[in-house]
């Protein structure tokens, strides 16, 4: 535990006094390090010897130089290798590192960050969101997203990865925004423009593993990893063993960089359950503290993807928790997917999709609170009692739930348009924080496939592994899974924004706009307090979500299948605010489904009704 609190000097390369570049590298056990300068074409030139410094570090200074210097590092005569603490990799993860300075002229000085009570998150893969696949190409889309009712972008991982086509979870240079997306300057322009439109920006950060290609950490120290813990990607990152202090500092200073130097409004932590740390304080606690300190007077949010349903993640540190602002709670997605699409293999075997289980998930925030999981073979989850609904991030699709299907099928490929509208209504009118996957707001038809751009040998293994992964699934028997390495697989995943203006997609977008307007404006829907909502069964395959204030109640009836006929005791005082099958949303129900005090729904559908308390 004491090891993690050892002071770690600044590492990497930076500019001092405007005309001096300083390097510092952590390389325990090595005797000789050198900086090898490179020209603009990546060719090596002058060599600078590095001097041993305290803390198993080596340092060097280059006078009369500044931003734009390119370099690699030679270790005991081996290499040279890119700097794992590099702030820019303009020629890719195997090319020279580049010295950069955070001298961007920001226009967001009045920005105070997101409101955690009103988040509506929009998950974006930068490379496929536009034809250009860059940060700056996203800027013209921001106004439309804000007008729709989105207030937060969540950018899938940006740290440099091998090649130009990847989801980002194979990143190896934590501090270097991908050059193919527009590098450091492009990212700053996007975030500044987002703030100008009133949009917050969260960055998806991967601290549980490093990608296999372009990962040069072991060239400098074996202590970046440990065999004391194991993850799905092999040896764990060393956050709690001998020599772990610089490893922890790598992550903590990376968090600080995104918040301070790029004005990001927070992070989404990938697979936080695989960030293994037996020390105290846990890395996640320190990460939250570092993010808040870097933000100064701005609000920042740290949200974790974590499959364990652990309440301690979002409980405040003062209450024995880790102080995160939110956690992905996928039970909601899994219940709805089972109910409307019928998925039952893999982890879906743990869910019934019954109206009662959907209602229970809505009451609690997640479904599993300690029950035995058939899929895992052990108990899963803790009670969500007392946790604010805002801390649960719900979705009906995300990059995993789309891209990890064999053919990258979006939800709209597997459920009817009516089911999609009903599921969307429940998602956006619940008290929990909704997450939309890019294009969801118009039920995009383009798939989001798994794609990579690895070297030939690794790429072949990835392709073979991907196809083997789906061989045991009934629905994919005999199918050929698209080759992740093929350029065509990547190109097929690009969004077609023009769809949003054409039927039937335009109707879906109109529904999303109206749902988000209601969410932001109706008093019953604005409340995120636990105790101000309930959910219960109202038929064999139907449920109602109730949102309430002292003055009145708002009821969201959702029918999964078959027919629902439900008499409202206060029916003659009820007012219909929205029904998912209205023609303007692409449905076929001309008249509101509330007549003579009775709700009548046929097939997958939803209706929103207000009644006095």
- Three-state secondary structure of 259-309: HHCCCCCEEEECCHHHCCCCCCCCHHHHHHHHHHHHHCCCCCEEEEECCCC
Q: Is 312:321 a contact under the CB 8 Å cutoff?
A: yes
Domain boundary pick from 493, 516, 539: 516
CB of 146 closer than 8 Å to CB of 158: no
Tell me which of 459 and 138 has the higher pLDDT.
Answer: 138
Rounded to whole angstroms, the Cα distance separating 611 from 524 reads 11
Together in a domain, 94 and 127: no
Residue with tokens 């307090």: 529
**pLDDT above 90 as % of the chain:** 90
**85 found inside a domain:** yes
278 classed as catalytic: no
Mean pLDDT calculated for residue range 100-113: 95
Catalytic residue among 154, 213, 305, 541: 305
The CA–CA distances, whole Å, from 52 to 3, 21, 56, 223 equal 21, 17, 7, 18
Residue 478 and residue 434 in one domain: yes
- Same domain (yes/no): 261, 162: yes
Inter-axis angle of helices 283-295 and 245-260, nearest 10: 30
Q: pLDDT tens across 203-242, in order?
A: 999 999 999 999 999 999 999 999 999 888 889 999 999 9
Q: How confident is the model at residue 2 (pLDDT cuts 50, 70, 90)?
A: very low
Q: What percent of the chain has pLDDT over 70?
A: 98
| Angle between helical axes of 417-429 and 331-341 (0-180°, round to 10) | 160
The predicted structure's pLDDT at residue 233: 87
Same domain for 171 and 137: yes
* Torsion-angle region of 312 (φ positive above 0: left; ψ -120 to 50: alpha; else: beta): alpha
What is the average pLDDT score of the chain? 95
The pLDDT assigned to 6 comes to 76
DSSP class of 68:
T
Considering the domain architecture, whether residues 128 and 81 belong to the same structural domain is answered as no
pLDDT range class, residue 476, cuts 50, 70, 90: low
Pair (262, 393) in one structural domain: yes
Q: Is the full-model pTM beyond 0.85?
A: yes
Q: Is residue 60 part of a domain?
A: yes
Tell me, yes or no, if 491 is annotated catalytic: no
- pLDDT, one tens digit per residue, over 289-339 is 999 999 999 999 999 999 999 999 999 988 999 999 999 999 999 999 999
Residue 405 makes CB contacts below 8 A (sequence gap 6+) with none
pLDDT 10s digits, 24-36: 999 999 999 999 9
Q: Are 533 and 512 contained in the same domain?
A: no
* Dist. CA 476–CA 110, nearest whole Å: 52
Q: Considering the domain boundaries, does residue 360 fall inside one?
A: no
Lowest mean pLDDT of 30-34, 100-104, 397-401, 491-495, name the range.
Answer: 100-104
Number of domains making up the chain: 3
Q: Are 255 and 275 in contact (CB under 8 A)?
A: no
Write down the pLDDT at residue 32: 98
Kindly state whether residues 510 and 540 are assigned to the same domain: no
* 79/359 Cα distance (integer angstroms): 59
The catalytic residue among 270, 306, 325, 441 is 270
- Point out the domain boundary residue: 516, 547, 566: 516
Q: How confident is the model at residue 54 (pLDDT cuts 50, 70, 90)?
A: very high
CATH number for the domain that contains residue 48: 2.60.40.10
562-606 pLDDT tens trace: 999 999 987 778 999 999 999 999 999 999 999 989 999 999 999
Q: Answer yes or no: is 378 within a domain.
A: no
pLDDT of 464 above 90: no
Residue 373 lies in a domain: no
pLDDT for residue 480: 80
Pair (32, 89) in one structural domain: yes
Whether residue 105 lies inside any domain: the answer is no
| Average pLDDT estimate for 524-541 | 92
Mean pLDDT within 468-493: 82
Same domain, 431 and 559: no
The answer to whether residue 381 sits within a structural domain is no
pLDDT at 474 over 70: no
| Segments forming the whole domain that contains residue 581 | 528-612
CATH code of the domain in which 330 resides:
3.20.20.80
Query: Do 77 and 146 fall within a single domain?
Result: no
Closest CA to 388 of 528, 248, 221: 528
Inform me whether the pLDDT recorded for 273 exceeds 90. Answer: yes
Q: Which of 95-99, 236-240, 322-326, 529-533 has the lowest mean pLDDT?
A: 529-533
Q: Which of 98, 131, 159 represents a domain boundary (last residue)?
A: 98
Based on the fold, state whether residues 264 and 392 are members of the same structural domain.
yes
Backbone angles phi, psi at 123, to 5 degrees: -80, 130
pLDDT at 1: 44
Q: How far apart are CA 500 and CA 512, in angstroms?
A: 12
pLDDT value of residue 3: 57
> Is residue 173 assigned to a domain?
yes
């Amino acid at each position: 535990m004491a090891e993690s609190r050892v002071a770690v000097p600044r590492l990497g390369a930076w500019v001092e006094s405007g005309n001096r570049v300083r390097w510092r590298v952590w390389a325990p056990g090595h005797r000789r390090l050198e900086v090898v300068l490179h020209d603009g074409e990546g060719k090596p030139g002058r060599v600078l010897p590095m001097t041993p410094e305290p803390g198993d570090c080596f340092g060097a200074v280059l006078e009369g130089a500044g931003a734009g210097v390119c370099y690699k590092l030679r270790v005991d005569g081996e290499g040279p290798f890119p700097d794992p603490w590099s702030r820019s990799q303009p020629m890719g993860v195997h090319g020279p590192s580049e010295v950069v300075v955070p001298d961007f002229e920001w226009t967001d000085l009045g920005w105070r960050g997101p409101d955690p009570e009103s988040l509506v998150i929009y998950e974006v893969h930068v490379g496929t969101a536009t034809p250009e696949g860059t940060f700056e190409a996203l800027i013209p889309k921001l106004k439309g997203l804000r007008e729709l009712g989105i207030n937060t972008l969540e950018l899938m991982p940006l740290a440099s990865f091998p090649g130009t086509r990847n989801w980002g979870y194979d990143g190896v240079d934590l501090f270097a925004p991908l050059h193919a997306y527009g590098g450091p300057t492009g990212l700053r322009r996007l975030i500044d423009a987002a703030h100008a439109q009133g949009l917050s920006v969260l960055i998806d950060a991967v601290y549980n593993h490093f990608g296999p290609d372009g990962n040069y950490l072991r060239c400098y120290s074996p202590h970046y990893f440990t065999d004391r813990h194991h993850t799905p990607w092999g040896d764990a990152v060393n956050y709690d063993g001998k020599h772990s202090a610089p490893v922890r500092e790598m992550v903590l200073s990376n968090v600080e960089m995104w918040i301070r130097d790029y004005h990001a409004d927070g992070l989404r932590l990938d697979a936080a359950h695989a960030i293994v740390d037996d020390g105290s304080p846990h890395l996640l606690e320190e990460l939250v503290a570092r993010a808040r300190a870097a933000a100064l007077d701005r609000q920042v949010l740290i949200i974790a993807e974590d499959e364990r349903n652990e309440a301690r993640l979002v409980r405040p540190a003062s209450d024995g928790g880790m102080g995160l602002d939110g956690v992905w709670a996928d039970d909601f997605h899994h219940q709805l997917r089972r109910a409307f699409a019928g998925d039952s293999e893999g982890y879906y075997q743990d869910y019934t999709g019954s109206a009662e289980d959907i209602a229970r998930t809505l009451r609690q925030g997640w479904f599993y609170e300690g029950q035995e999981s058939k899929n895992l073979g052990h108990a899963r989850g803790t009670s969500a009692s007392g946790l604010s609904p805002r801390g649960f991030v719900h979705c009906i699709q995300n990059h995993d739930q789309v891209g990890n299907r064999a053919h990258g099928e979006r939800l709209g490929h597997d459920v009817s348009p009516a089911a999609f509208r009903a599921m969307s209504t429940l998602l956006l009118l619940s008290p929990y924080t909704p997450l939309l996957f890019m294009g969801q707001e118009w039920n995009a038809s383009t798939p989001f496939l798994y794609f990579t751009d690895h070297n030939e040998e690794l790429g072949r293994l990835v392709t073979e592994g991907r196809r083997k992964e789906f061989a045991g699934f009934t629905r994919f028997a005999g199918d050929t899974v698209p080759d992740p390495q093929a350029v065509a697989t990547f190109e097929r995943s690009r969004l077609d924004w023009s769809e949003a203006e054409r039927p039937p997609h335009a109707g879906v977008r109109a529904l999303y706009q109206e749902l988000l307007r209601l969410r932001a404006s109706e008093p019953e829907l604005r409340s995120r307090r636990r105790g101000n909502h309930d959910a219960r069964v109202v038929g064999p395959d139907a449920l109602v979500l109730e949102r309430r204030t002292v003055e009145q109640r708002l009821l969201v009836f959702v029918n999964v299948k078959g027919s629902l006929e439900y008499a409202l005791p206060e029916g003659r005082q009820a007012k219909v605010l929205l029904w998912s099958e209205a023609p303007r949303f692409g449905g076929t129900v001309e008249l509101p489904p509330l007549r003579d005090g009775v709700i009548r729904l046929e097939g997958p559908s939803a209706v929103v009704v207000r009644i006095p308390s």
